[in-house]
Amino acid sequence: VEECLSRIDRAVGGIREPRDSVVAHALGASKDSTRVRQRYQEALADLLAADTVTPELLKRRELLRRLDVVGLRLGEAAAALSDGAVKRG
């Protein structure tokens, strides 16, 4: 998540630079957001492999779900930056 935010920050900071620079940072951020979501799926699978459902398990599932949403929103931000850079020309 931290690396993805850093890439988005660099893309936003470079919005006045050539388009390729912004697109490259946005693409990196998009890949990072995909990794966040993949890790969510792996962690959720591990969590749900438990034999019993406990309140602690449900709390962890909710935390993982929120992290997945963070990954989703970071991907959307990266896509919007990339689209804006391409349309800007």
User: 50 φ, ψ to 5°?
Assistant: -65, 150
Give how far Cα 21 sits from Cα of 16, 63, 64, 70, Å. 10, 34, 32, 24
Domain count, the chain: 1
Confidence of residue 72 (pLDDT cuts 50, 70, 90): very high
Structure pTM? 0.80
Domain containing 18 equals: 2-88
Give the pLDDT of residue 62: 96
For the chain, what percent of residues have pLDDT higher than 90?
A: 55
Confidence of residue 88 (pLDDT cuts 50, 70, 90): confident
Give the pLDDT of residue 79: 93
Asked whether the predicted pLDDT for residue 89 surpasses 80, the reply is no
